[in-house]
Structure 1
């Protein structure tokens, strides 16, 4: 019995649609600025509209240009086996096969297929890069296929919003209002606006974190707010606010006045523990500019002092970022010179073990030079085993694999720098189309 190959599927679709004067189903629109020889670009929209070709019939009796018989997989494989095979495809390929025929579209958009996807080994995290413009569009990088894809965020999202992600969901918080929050799946465009937190007053600094329970798929969101005490530079009011998706309620779980320290814009949740960075404002510990505070979300005790859980950082850092990599707390930061903290001499990666930091890697000099002119600010984000690092001033993206201790550049991003002061930002997320907010 003749076999059905993916190349034959592509040729059959192209031949069938070309004869009707239409663009071939499942074809990919090239984007200016792609790598040479790479034409596999796809623009993701909502799952229903991307794969919405309900009038396409199965092509079980169509022959290719070599006049060889083509047999549909539908007539060979049981539905359960076909679903299992499709579930192991890369995420981008799952979107494509939904355009092959009506039956495959129904399979990859069904609840049963989403359930199968949730039990399949998670795919490597993607990285979404966007510019400082007001347009909510950018490019998502797939490290498995080493390709960039055009991807649009909800129209109200801009580059200055606070961002946190976990298990396929991304939380966005407005930087201007700080009470407008949305939870979104970047692949399916499913979006949900959360009720406003009780902290209506604008804070000087806010740190957003998110954690999804991979069993029940409920999630918690935390906001650490820091506000200067009026007419007192050394004292700062710090409060922790928690949202639970199961109750859809915000709770202010902790408040404390810090002396000589303030909160910042960096936090993460690991194993039910909220970690956030604090910064010295004067009168703090000698030779210490940064510190780490941990808070157990399950206890929600308001009697103990947060400063009792203070953990010093390993060295003077700039642009420190906290990440949850397989429930391990990882920190990435620029290592400043002793006499000039604002000048980076390298970028390091540390893992917290108990209360001690262990350095696991330091960016090799050849990669550090590859960023060109790297000032004291850069973006970094990671999950699973991958850490992404990029300069705010250029679209170059560097990847570090924690499991193999390997550094490598991504494929060149199709976005180009149009003016000298244009900035680039980004965040890491898991490609999980089966997860909804």
Structure 2
């Protein structure tokens, strides 16, 4: 898939980046004497956005873009800065944020996702260089946003179509980008069922039931997953199981701890549920804040661990904070907080947050009826930066959520 164009940013002035200067050096005679293998090895280290321009440099570089050995060379790059696949309310554009060049890009929507029957396919999970979409019929399509390659998975065939789908999580192999799994968690608490798709076998494995782990679980957390209603400070009736954006209603993350895969998702009442796939059990974490506090909450994965992001209001101000759960003592610990000067504008706006993590960074989409904001947080350094507006025809584009992926041309579906 070729890149269409960089979207217009708030600042129209352009300045050469170190990457663009490197590309000009590469475009000279410096690489003319290299054999094909060495050339492909050098080009594989370029920023991912430069791959779209290889075909327009010269015939030799164009052949590199289509070379199978070039994809192998790219697979040897240990990691790439993440791109964030943005979700707009109309689900009709493929816009990404490039963290290397710090700008917005518009990609061609894959043909399979443009078909009328899948016009409302929504992204629901991502891992490695792939993004997974769910169709209106409940089936799944896995896509590489860079190449446009798509694969429609076989129907999941859950044992009961009446099962409520709670979580859709995706994991991929760091050694082989063509290996990935898609995991579904469905059912009604306390009866949960897991279904897993294996890309190697190209089939869904038999589902299994999770048992509830009761060790060290306070009695207050054993309640059913019913909706809790309470009065806000303004006198409004508020339900704790707020409606999330369609793409994030199955918000979940998957981590590996001591060799065991664990899926985390939010219950309808706002508690964090941890599903251990190896031990086939689940548990509910203690509530982070009292139920009568108004807040929006989301789970993310950063540096291989599950974190929780919370937006809440207290003493006439809003606070956006990141928390980590410790099994020792079963307590939540705050690890990062947005500067008050940045978060105060959220107060009273009834904003919702949708978050996604990758490495040390996470992207937080803050949405309300009055404003939209997109914030990048470096969790390790507790640095918070608001992203520039994405302008199309002079108007700021609105996004509901995002999914992170590594821009890898070698990632197979």
TM-score under structure 2 length normalisation: 0.74
Of the three residues 94, 99, 119, the one matched with 1:143 is 99
What's the CA shift for 1:268?
1.4
Report 1:210-359 matches (<5 A).
Answer: 210-217=170-177, 218-227=179-188, 237-250=191-204, 251-254=206-209, 260-261=224-225, 265-271=250-256, 272-279=260-267, 290-299=270-279, 301=280, 306=282, 309-316=283-290, 318-337=295-314, 345-354=318-327, 355-359=330-334
Of 178, 186, 194, 2:145 maps to: 186
* 1:387–1:30 distance in 2 versus 1, CA, 3 Å: closer
Q: RCO greater where, 1 or 2, for CA within 8 Å and sep 6 or more?
A: 2
CA shift, 1:104, in A, is: 0.9
1:148 and 1:414 in contact (8 A); partners too: no
Q: Which residue of 2 aligns with 1:5?
A: none
Candidates 333, 336, 340, aligned match of 1:361: 336
For 1:370 and 1:114, the matched residues in 2 are separated by 46
Q: Following the alignment from structure 1 to structure 2, what is the Cα–Cα distance between the partners of residues 186 and 260?
A: 39
**After alignment, is 326-335 or 83-92 more displaced?**
326-335
Q: For the structure 1 residues 418 and 99, does the alpha-carbon distance in structure 2 shift closer, same or farther, using more than 3 Å as the test?
A: closer
C-alpha RMSD over aligned residues: 3.5
In structure 2, C-alpha distance between the alignment counterparts of 1:265 and 1:27, rounded to whole Å: 29
Q: Which moved further from structure 2: 266-275 or 364-373?
A: 364-373
- Give the aligned partner of residue 391 of structure 1: 366
Which residue in 2 is equivalent to 1:35?
A: 11
Match of 1:401 in 2: 378
Equivalent-residue separation in structure 1 for 2:95 and 2:313 (angstroms): 31
Q: 1:436: which partner in 2?
A: 412
TM-superposed CA distance for 1:238, in Å, is: 2.8
- What is the CA deviation profile of residues 355-392 of structure 1, one whole-angstrom value per residue up to 9, with x for unaligned ones? 54332111112222466874241221111121001223
Deviation at 1:189, TM superposition (A): 0.8
Aligned partners of 1:150 and 1:206: how far apart in 2?
Answer: 31
1:99 paired residue number:
56
Counterpart in 2 of 1:425? 401
Worse-matched range after superposition: 391-400 or 217-226: 391-400
The 1:239/1:417 distance shift into structure 2, 3 A limit, reads farther
Larger radius of gyration: 1
Q: Which moved more, 1:200-209 or 1:152-161?
A: 152-161
Number of residue pairs matched by the alignment: 354
Distance 1:239 1:417 in 2: 47
The superposition leaves residues 125-165 of structure 1 with CA deviations (integer Å, 9 ceiling, x where unpaired) of 11222321152x14211111111111243325667735111
Return the alpha-carbon distance in structure 1 between the equivalents of residues 367 and 193 of structure 2. Answer: 30
Q: Which runs of 5+ in 2 are unaligned?
A: 17-26, 213-221, 227-240, 242-248
Question: Would the alpha carbon gap of residues 32 and 117 (structure 1) be closer, same or farther in structure 2, given more than 3 Å must change?
Answer: closer
> CA shift at 1:323, angstroms?
2.2
Are residues 1:166 and 2:154 paired?
no
Relative to structure 1, is the Cα distance of residues 241 and 429 closer, same or farther in structure 2, using a 3 angstrom cutoff?
same
Displacement of 1:396: 2.9
State the alpha-carbon separation in 1 of the partners of residues 57 and 66 from structure 2: 13
- Contact kept in structure 2, 1:131 and 1:159, CA below 8 Å: no
Identify unmatched segments of 5+ residues in structure 1: 1-25, 41-69, 228-234, 281-288
Partners of 2:130 and 2:384 lie apart in 1 by: 26
What does residue range 70-149 of structure 1 map to in structure 2 within 5 Å?
72-135=29-92, 137-149=93-105
Normalization by structure 1: what TM-score? 0.70
Contact 1:168 1:435 in 2 (8 A): yes
Q: CA 1:328–1:363 in structure 2 vs 1: closer, same or farther (change >3 Å)?
A: same
